[in-house]
Structure 1
Amino acid sequence: MLKHHSLKKLALATLLVVSSSSVWADTSLTVAQRQDPNSWDPIDTFLVAWSSAGGSLFDGLVLRDENLKLQPGLATSWEILEDGLRMRFKLSEGVKFHNGEDFNADAVKFTFDRLLGEEGAKGPQRSNYLSIKSIEVVDDHTVDFVMNAPDPVMLTKLAGYGAMIVPPKYITEKGDAHFNMNPVGTGPFKFKSYTQGDKLELVINPDYFGGKPKLDNLTYRFIREDATRLAELQAGRVDVVHDIAFSAIPTVKENDSIEIVSVAGPSIMSYQFNTKAGITKDLKVRQAINMAVDKKVLIDAFLGGYGTPIDSLQGKLSFGYDPDLKGYPFDPEKAKQLLKEAGVKPGTEITIDYRANNAAVGEISQAMTSFLQNVGLNAKLKPIESSVFLNDIVPKGKTDELFQFTWGGWTFDFDNTAYLIYHDGERWNPYGTSEEMNKLLEAQRSIVDQDERLKILRQVGQLAHDNAYHLPLYNEDTIYAVSKKVKGFVPAPDRRMRYLTTTVEE
């Protein structure tokens, strides 16, 4: 039999082991999202699915926080020189990429030379940065952006997507294809592994210049089916769902171990018109279709009320929003009259194209057929695989009369949306708009005075409305479903989560 003092020593040793294991046990968070971006190169994508994980891997010169305020990122400060034709950035010292490579002015120059060069031309991000003429290295920790013209949105752009700083030596030695699948940045988490279509595994960057994260491991799982993402959350195999289906919100609210966290976000849902072919060439038809849809019904039925009707392709948080813009009213009788004036016979067929991987959009598109049938149009649905839709059908102008247009609005500035969808020659504007629109869009990009810019952006919104290029539906709230084991969760309106302060209770 053990003596009393031996029992005390054993108990103390056991306590120390338990205490030590609880202190040193890895803390892991698993996040589920619908889409796998399929490349982790910042210049290859515009997808929110990339930025939600990419913000943990990469940093820009500027950081936009969860309150949408611009903060120093890899740049400690900046100043605008020469009436906006030169922007000077002072860079953080002592920062290293995950592979040990030094972050410095040469890395910034390499990043933007690459973005504005042949490699960047292959992706969708380059056109956001064409106001940059060149990058000049002043010294190891100072760079100048020499501008073709002043760009009042540049600082915001530098906080996202294509402007994330990448490692020159690593990319030069390994090549672009390797970098796509094995990313290296300066962010709070480092790449561990990536299985396309399945998951991305990250581990802590203990030397992160912005402060060591509280998590040791961060895993993103890519689960296309809404029901499966929810089931994995309910089973405890997932801690956070980034894009919970709105239809699942009531189920989540009934679960005592999960909560819904929502915040006003930038994402909008709309349909875009083919203005070159079919009955939607006619403005009256486009106006009629706008009047045929009850947006409030869609928001209540499919978003559970977590959204706001919109009359242009932006929400209230976006610079350029016009509270005085009067949208098309829900007026089925007026819609029928306009269709009759356009010579459209009752029963005329119209096709709606949409991305097949989003069940919610499929449901909304189905509801659209009912609204259109109510005014005499026989609407058919055509679900299209997402990559085909985004890389072939839309940019090459192969759509039917009406097609899905969803947009993240990640800059919270209407320029980023409006220029890319209304200016001639842009990827998301396959059917063109007008010379008047081109001039307005170009003019606001060269104006530093924000009040003057605001006036022009509101003119852009009005012109787009008058020509009914789109059927704007709603601005979504950004919704997260979060296990109550997760602590320190700070919702990002733009889904660019960084999880620096997050922990998980076991």
Structure 2
Amino acid sequence: MRRTARRIGIALIAASLLAMAAPASTAAELKVGLAADVSSLDPHYLNIAPNISLASHLFDTLVLVDAGGKLVPGLATSWRAVDDTTWEFKLRRGVKFHDGSEMTADDVLFSLDRPATLTASPGPFTSYTRQIVAKKAVDPYTVQLKTASPYGPLPLDMSSIFIVSKKAAQNATTEDFNSGRALVGTGPFKFAAFARGDRVDMTRNDQYWGDKPAWDKVSMRIITASAPRLAALLAGDVDLIETVPTADLAKLKANPKFTLEQRTSWRTIFWHVDQQARRSPFVTDRAGKPLDKNPLADARVRLAMSKAIDRKALTARTMEGLALPASNIVAPGIFGYNDALQVEAYDPEGAKKLLAEAGYPDGFGLTLHGPNNRYINDERIVQTVAQFFSRIGIVTKVQTLPLSVYFTKARTGEFSMALLGWGTLAADFGLRTLVGTPNASTGWGTWNWGRYSNPKVDELVKSALSSVDAGKREAYARDAAAIALKEVAVIPLHHQVASWAMRRGLAYPGRVDEFTFAHQVRPQ
């Protein structure tokens, strides 16, 4: 009896020790504080970073992009150019949608067609699909895409089109996605709930084909104001935040309870300037009377405004060091970045002379528009630039708006000068979208708010996109950028430095695209 009792006692002690060593039985949950609003869960509706970042949790693309900006296999395990105008993608076998059905070539073809059907999209994805003139499924796991002319960067385009379930999305509206009814993807998480303006909740997809997430549940909480977002991290209400308030970086670095991750991102912040030969909506004389002639259509006026901006002061003070002065549309290190372009020197006297040459010696009136909840210190950027303009005689007002309102108005040409941030992995892509002559049939210029147009720039960008020689392609892109920026197609300001803060014990690889992916957050 004593031996039996002793064995029982030892067994109980051992069980107790094992229980103490075992991980907690409660589900692992990650709470993330997002800096920008998620306006739609339809992965083909609005081509903006917050929506794309969120969609990447629920859906996959044929080609994925790693943290450093390199293309890697996604739903396609490989791709190759069959000939000058045909690309072939081999699909990953055995991939399941969230409803258990298998992903095949039919779903891919449907997903490539769908963006063009969303005619009311305020920011369409069609610039990534318009080059495709024919497509076919060779078999359930092989897709061939044909372009009208040679087109080298099609695999990069395929990193931007999410693959949806044809069965779930065939007759679905954008609202069906927002409600969750059509949210059937192959991504690492499944949809749980969407409270607009507040949060998106997800659960782990245990059948995911790739590396399994560390989290059973994820709550992506939308906290667009910097102070409340930081407060949520400090209070433990969230585990990680993106876009750390610049004024609090030093404190967080010194706090042993938190870890900070930073990386120069692909995002360039710049001004779109209305260049149409019309009465510009927010340009007046100094007394506030609308001008019949648009001064912003004159390249000398745009250059004067560029010279009026002290980018060193802007990045050091307004951005508190979380930015690099910009001379290009794309960031350093991005394919097609033109090293020959120099940051415009701060020259207010030269700016005044240019205004006088253009016929505006006393300046004019202008309202600057920008978002107040999208980019790092975006509202302060607009206010700072307004002060610079006022010093050269441009009577400047400021109006900032929430992102959801701002983008809709900017895209329809309601502003004279509008702030935008754009990130891309290739200069010819950015040039096509931002300064290419707007053309609904080709998808060019979908974000060309200023309506800049130069046939020579278009031709060079087309040559870049059609080249399969990387060296020639990059040279064409650099030449196109040189022409467009000499004409001040846009006014570059700076390249953002992205930052993330998280409770100690977590690790996140800072991404060049600034995206925050819960499935890449790992416990240390």
Map 1:349-360 onto structure 2 (within 5 A).
349-358=365-374, 360=377
Q: Is the 8 A contact 1:128 1:416 kept in 2?
A: no
- The partner residue of 2:477 within 457, 465, 472 is 457
User: Offset of 1:385 from its aligned partner?
Assistant: 3.3
User: Which digits, 9 at most, give the CA deviation of each residue in 1:109-133, with x for residues without a partner?
Assistant: 1111223445697751112221111
User: Offset of 1:7 from its aligned partner?
Assistant: 5.9
User: Which digits, 9 at most, give the CA deviation of each residue in 1:351-385, with x for residues without a partner?
Assistant: 11111334711111111122122222221101233
Q: Which amino acid aligns with 2:371?
A: R
SS of the equivalent of 1:433 reads: coil
Which residue of 2 is the match for residue 275 of structure 1?
A: 275
Q: Which amino acid aligns with 1:219?
A: S
Which residue of 2 is the match for residue 424 of structure 1?
A: 437
Distance 2:522 2:461 in 1: 44
Which residue of 2 is the match for residue 479 of structure 1?
A: 499
User: Which digits, 9 at most, give the CA deviation of each residue in 1:19-70, with x for residues without a partner?
Assistant: 44x2543221111112222212221122211232222211111111112222
| Mapped pair 1:466 → 2:479 | no
Relative to 1, partners in 2 of residues 1:483 and 1:322: Cα closer, same or farther, differing over 3 Å? same
Relative to 1, partners in 2 of residues 1:245 and 1:201: Cα closer, same or farther, differing over 3 Å? same
Relative to 1, partners in 2 of residues 1:130 and 1:233: Cα closer, same or farther, differing over 3 Å? same
Q: Which runs of 5+ in 2 are unaligned?
A: 281-293, 439-444
Distance 1:175 1:101 in 2: 21
- TM-score, normalising length: structure 1: 0.92
Which residue of 2 is the match for residue 374 of structure 1?
A: 391
User: Offset of 1:499 from its aligned partner?
Assistant: 4.0
Which residue of 1 is the match for residue 175 of structure 2?
A: 177
Map 1:165-314 onto structure 2 (within 5 A).
165-172=163-170, 175-182=173-180, 183-276=183-276, 277=280, 278-314=294-330
Which residue of 2 is the match for residue 442 of structure 1?
A: 462
Distance 2:493 2:117 in 1: 37
The number of residues matched between the two structures is: 495
Q: Is the 8 A contact 2:330 2:423 kept in 1?
A: no
Q: Which runs of 5+ in 1 are unaligned?
A: none
Q: Which amino acid aligns with 1:43?
A: H
Distance 1:292 1:132 in 2: 43
User: Offset of 1:439 from its aligned partner?
Assistant: 2.4
SS of the equivalent of 1:144 reads: strand
SS of the equivalent of 1:375 reads: coil
Distance 1:256 1:169 in 2: 50
Distance 1:484 1:214 in 2: 16
Q: Is the 8 A contact 2:261 2:509 kept in 1?
A: no
SS of the equivalent of 2:411 reads: coil
Q: Which amino acid aligns with 1:166?
A: V
Q: Is the 8 A contact 1:28 1:504 kept in 2?
A: no
Q: Which amino acid aligns with 1:363?
A: R
Distance 1:121 1:254 in 2: 45
User: Which digits, 9 at most, give the CA deviation of each residue in 1:211-247, with x for residues without a partner?
Assistant: 3222222220001211000000111111111222323
Relative to 1, partners in 2 of residues 1:174 and 1:407: Cα closer, same or farther, differing over 3 Å? closer
Q: Which amino acid aligns with 1:467?
A: E
Which residue of 2 is the match for residue 414 of structure 1?
A: 427
User: Offset of 1:305 from its aligned partner?
Assistant: 1.9
Q: Is the 8 A contact 1:247 1:302 kept in 2?
A: no
Distance 2:411 2:274 in 1: 12
Q: Is the 8 A contact 1:37 1:45 kept in 2?
A: no
Q: Is the 8 A contact 2:79 2:90 kept in 1?
A: yes
Distance 2:452 2:233 in 1: 44
| Mapped pair 1:323 → 2:339 | yes
Which residue of 2 is the match for residue 503 of structure 1?
A: 522
Distance 1:88 1:468 in 2: 39
Aligned-residue identity in percent: 28
Distance 2:520 2:224 in 1: 28
Which residue of 1 is the match for residue 291 of structure 2?
A: none
User: Offset of 1:273 from its aligned partner?
Assistant: 1.2
- TM-score, normalising length: structure 2: 0.89
Distance 1:376 1:360 in 2: 25
User: Offset of 1:140 from its aligned partner?
Assistant: 1.1
Relative to 1, partners in 2 of residues 1:354 and 1:176: Cα closer, same or farther, differing over 3 Å? closer
User: Offset of 1:462 from its aligned partner?
Assistant: 1.2
| Mapped pair 1:494 → 2:494 | no
Q: Is the 8 A contact 2:34 2:224 kept in 1?
A: yes
Relative to 1, partners in 2 of residues 1:326 and 1:490: Cα closer, same or farther, differing over 3 Å? closer
Please give the root-mean-square deviation of Cα atoms over the aligned residues, in Å. Answer: 2.3
Which residue of 2 is the match for residue 336 of structure 1?
A: 352
SS of the equivalent of 1:265 reads: strand
Map 1:57-206 onto structure 2 (within 5 A).
57-83=58-84, 85-117=85-117, 123-160=123-160, 163-172=161-170, 175-182=173-180, 183-206=183-206
Distance 1:122 1:301 in 2: 34
